[in-house]
Structure 1
Amino acid sequence: MTEQYKAINWNQIEDMIDKLTWEKLVEQFWTDTRIPLSNDLDDWYNLPKNEKDMVGKVFGGLTLLDTLQSQDGIQALKESIRTQHEEAVYNNIQFMESMHAKSYSAIFSTLNTKNEIDDIFQWTNTNDMLQKKAAAINEIYHSGTDLQRKVASVFLESFLFYSGFFAPLHYLGNNKLPNVAEIIKLILRDESVHGTYIGYKFQIGYNQLSEAEQENLKNWAYTLLFELYQNEVKYTEYLYDEIGWTERVKVFLRYNANKALQNLGFDPLFPDTADDVDPVVMNGISTGTSNHDFFSQVGNGYLLGMVESMDDNDYTKWMYSPSV
């Protein structure tokens, strides 16, 4: 007799975090077509040329990482699912990573000429530092263990994006490019859930290892993070030195590197805390979005249902040692 195909039953939940995450992601669903990006054109025209160049490269880099996550990352994580509901959550995450990548093209098509867009993608596909971090993560997705893949995914979701997120959050805090920043806040809100959820799934497997296996994996994770950080510092210097933002971005990087470790249940690597981050950017990182009428597109965001964003306190609520 052939093996029976099992229908997913959402009325019988093995892990309640799967259900809660699914519901949160559905509540947070959004699409770039509902953000009035053209309202930012006056701000864009008034930016200095070197800042426009930086913004294009920042968003090109973010597009590459979201493409990696949607095409390779989530697919790799699906190979070690524990429940059908977990796979459904990963399907949702995979779709939204594709939405994130598309949203940057929406920004490009609004702010940039065709030749500028072509130049941005040429730079993105050939920059050594950007390609290095993508290759490092992708190698783990294709040849790492299940738990190593989860570590790599959390580092991508919760750390590597943030060198790019800094710029639009900075502009938002200075009353510039609010609609571009709204898209970043929507993406950031998604990534905070993605990183927390995948980190939680990592902890389930990690807690089943022997002490020696745990120590080896933890050492591997810290080594990987520091190597990624060293490359990210060079990438940050390349992007931000000319406009004088580099040191503030590095603090932001270290803060989010610690957040990534927290998602995995590990201690921070760097001394930087939220108090050390530029307060203008920290205000922007609060993942709420502007409320307005979904249909009329009033304001610089849109509300689909009653969305609850994930803030620092939610990490504490989610990051507990699961009983397995």
Structure 2
Amino acid sequence: MTETYKAINWNRIEDMIDKLTWEKLVEQFWTDTRIPLSNDLSDWNKLSLDEKDMIAKVFGGLTLLDTLQSQDGIESLKKHSRTQHEEAVYNNIEFMESMHAKSYSAIFSTLNTKSEIDDIFDWTHSNPMLQKKAQIINAVYQEGTELQKKVASVFLESFLFYSGFYAPLRYLGNSKLTNVAEIIKLILRDESVHGTYIGYKFQIGFNQLTESEQEEMKNWTYDLLFKLYENEMAYTSYLYDSIGWTESVGTFLRYNANKALQNLGFDPLFPDTAEDVDPIIMNGISTGTSNHDFFSQVGNGYLVGMVESMSDNDYVEWFS
């Protein structure tokens, strides 16, 4: 007998978090074409060659990671969807990761020449540290268990992106490249929801494991974080040593590694807290976005998810 194809019914929701997340993501939909990036050209032209090189590599690296997430990461998670609504949310996330990757090309086309853009992408294809972190994450996507894939995704969304996010947030704090930073803040807002949602789905599966299985999963998670952190600090040093920002970026990374762990329901690993992060950077995260109010509430402001180990009720409150 031919299997009956099942239509998705949004009037019968098994997990209300799926519906809340879908609505949140739709509410904050945006496109890069609405941001006036050309207004940043005067700031760009005043930067040193070292700064321009750093920014180009930062956005090249972010492009590669968003490409990985949109082409392989979310697709690997969809295979384990528990409901049709969960799969629909992943479809939304997958599209926005493609939007993020495209937005960096919009920045490149505004600030860089064609030959410079070609050089940036050549660099992303050959830099060993950037390629290593992509390979580590993708190996989990291709070969890991359902929960391991969710851990890798949360680490990518809530930790690895932040070595790149640091630079535009710092320039924003000094009133430079404000439109470029506007795109980063919109991306940050998306990634906050993505990391929270996937972390929540991880916790559902984790709580169904036996005690020994949970301990094994925790150990695997912290081992993966150590491996990624070691490589990420080498990558950070490569990007930022020449302009003296490496130590500050490292603090920001450790803070966000802790947030990633909390998204998964685990205890923080590093001693770094929000108080240790450069206040200019924290202000850039929490300050409202500019007045690009082109869809409903898009651009009206946000606070990157202050997500602890959250229960269902906490998650509902965060989205209200």
Report the TM-score range of the alignment, normalised by the length of the smaller protein.
over 0.9
The aligned amino acid for 2:60 is: G
The CA distance in 2 between the partners of 1:189 and 1:272, in whole Å, is 22
1:276 aligns with 2:276: yes
CA contact (8 A) 2:61 2:124 kept: yes
CA contact (8 A) 2:158 2:195 kept: yes
Name the CA shift for 1:287/1:98 in 2 (closer, same or farther; >3 Å). Answer: farther
The CA distance in 1 between the partners of 2:303 and 2:151, in whole Å, is 21
1:315 Cα shift? 1.8
CA contact (8 A) 1:157 1:194 kept: yes
1:315 aligns with 2:301: no
CA contact (8 A) 1:165 1:184 kept: yes
CA contact (8 A) 2:137 2:152 kept: yes
**TM-score when normalising by structure 1:** 0.94
CA contact (8 A) 2:189 2:304 kept: no
CA contact (8 A) 2:36 2:179 kept: yes
CA contact (8 A) 1:68 1:134 kept: yes
| Partner SS for 1:315 | coil
Alignment of 1:199-278 (within 5 A): 199-278=199-278
The CA distance in 1 between the partners of 2:111 and 2:82, in whole Å, is 43
Instruction: Determine the structure 2 residue equivalent to 1:3.
Output: 3
CA contact (8 A) 1:193 1:310 kept: no
Over the aligned positions, Cα root-mean-square deviation in angstroms equals 1.4
The aligned amino acid for 1:306 is: Q
Q: Deviations over 1:16-62 (max 9, x none)?
A: 00000000000110000000000000000000010000000000000
The CA distance in 2 between the partners of 1:230 and 1:16, in whole Å, is 38
1:303 Cα shift? 3.9
Q: Deviations over 1:161-213 (max 9, x none)?
A: 00000000000000000000000000010000000000000000000000000
The aligned amino acid for 1:184 is: I
The aligned amino acid for 1:12 is: R
1:106 Cα shift? 0.2
The CA distance in 1 between the partners of 2:229 and 2:87, in whole Å, is 30
CA contact (8 A) 2:185 2:285 kept: yes
Instruction: Determine the structure 1 residue equivalent to 2:155.
Output: 155
CA contact (8 A) 1:196 1:263 kept: yes
The CA distance in 2 between the partners of 1:55 and 1:302, in whole Å, is 27
The aligned amino acid for 1:146 is: E
The CA distance in 2 between the partners of 1:315 and 1:304, in whole Å, is 26
Q: Deviations over 1:141-174 (max 9, x none)?
A: 0000000000000000000000000000000000
CA contact (8 A) 2:40 2:178 kept: yes
The aligned amino acid for 1:8 is: I
The aligned amino acid for 1:210 is: T
The aligned amino acid for 1:65 is: L
| Partner SS for 1:101 | helix
1:83 Cα shift? 0.5
1:306 Cα shift? 2.2
CA contact (8 A) 1:173 1:284 kept: yes
1:321 Cα shift? 6.5
The aligned amino acid for 1:38 is: S
Instruction: Determine the structure 2 residue equivalent to 1:197.
Output: 197
Structure 2 residue runs of 5 or longer lacking an equivalent are 314-320
Q: Deviations over 1:229-257 (max 9, x none)?
A: 01000000000000000000000000000
Q: Deviations over 1:106-125 (max 9, x none)?
A: 00000000010000000011
Instruction: Determine the structure 1 residue equivalent to 2:83.
Output: 83
The CA distance in 1 between the partners of 2:222 and 2:271, in whole Å, is 15
Instruction: Determine the structure 2 residue equivalent to 1:305.
Output: 296
CA contact (8 A) 1:76 1:141 kept: yes
Alignment of 1:16-27 (within 5 A): 16-27=16-27
CA contact (8 A) 1:54 1:239 kept: yes
CA contact (8 A) 1:34 1:302 kept: no
CA contact (8 A) 1:35 1:302 kept: no
Instruction: Determine the structure 1 residue equivalent to 2:72.
Output: 72
The aligned amino acid for 2:195 is: G
Name the CA shift for 1:309/1:195 in 2 (closer, same or farther; >3 Å). Answer: farther
**TM-score when normalising by structure 2:** 0.95
CA contact (8 A) 1:189 1:309 kept: no
Instruction: Determine the structure 2 residue equivalent to 1:296.
Output: none
**Identity across aligned pairs (percent)?**
77
1:310 Cα shift? 5.4
The aligned amino acid for 2:22 is: W
| Runs of 4+ that moved beyond 2 A | 306-314
1:286 Cα shift? 1.4
Instruction: Determine the structure 2 residue equivalent to 1:118.
Output: 118
Alignment of 1:133-172 (within 5 A): 133-172=133-172
Instruction: Determine the structure 2 residue equivalent to 1:298.
Output: none
